[in-house]
Amino acid sequence: MKTHDHARRTLARLMRAYHADELDEKKFRAMIYGFATLLGYFKHAADLRIEERLEAIEDQLSEDNRR
């Protein structure tokens, strides 16, 4: 799963399968745990991008204040 959208669709598919009794609880719980872990990685990557943008803004403001 390379994108948030793909992960969301896969999770929805798994939830439907679980509610239709096509997926046992143990496997469903394991998959949900995996998705929680994946979400943590997605959030970390997003936080890093935000931090990079913030640093670029701070650098620009610092340069503007030196003039």
Give me the number of domains the chain comprises: 1
Span 4-60, pLDDT tens digits? 888 889 999 999 999 999 999 999 999 999 989 988 998 999 999 999 999 999 999
Predicted TM-score (pTM) of the model is 0.66
Token pair in block for residue 36: 């929680």
Tell me the three-class secondary structure of 2-67, residue by residue. Answer: CCHHHHHHHHHHHHHHHHCCCCCHHHHHHHHHHHHHHHHHHHHHHHHHHHHHHHHHHHHHHHHHHC
Instruction: Residue 30: give the domain boundaries.
Output: 4-66
Per-residue confidence (pLDDT) for residue 33, from 0 to 100 = 94
Token pair in block for residue 1: 């799963």
Span 44-67, pLDDT tens digits? 999 999 999 999 999 999 888 877
